[in-house]
Amino acid sequence: MKNNIRMYRGKFNLTQEDLSNKLGVSRQTINSIENNKYFPSLELGLKLSRIFECTVDDLFSLD
């Protein structure tokens, strides 16, 4: 599974720390998601899509 979190984070001018604070997770979790080491739950995916004002499909896609 690929994701565009890093791109959207850049678009919204957010650091990993800012995004982790908004989501209530650790910065390392954001880093792991961005590097495809961890695939987030549906709940976290939906929270990400709300922050980035897009759909979950825009953020995540299958290889």
Only segment of 6-14, 34-42, 49-57 that touches another protein (CB under 8 A): 34-42
Q: Is there binding between residue 25 and another protein (CB under 8 A)?
A: yes
Q: Is there binding between residue 44 and another protein (CB under 8 A)?
A: yes
* Closest distance to another protein from the beta carbon of 39 (Å): 10
- Which residue carries 């800012």 as its tokens? 18
| Residue 21 buriedness (CB in 10 A; 0-12 / 13-18 / 19+) | middle
Q: Which residues bind another protein (CB under 8 A)?
A: 24-26, 28-29, 31-32, 35, 38, 40-41, 44
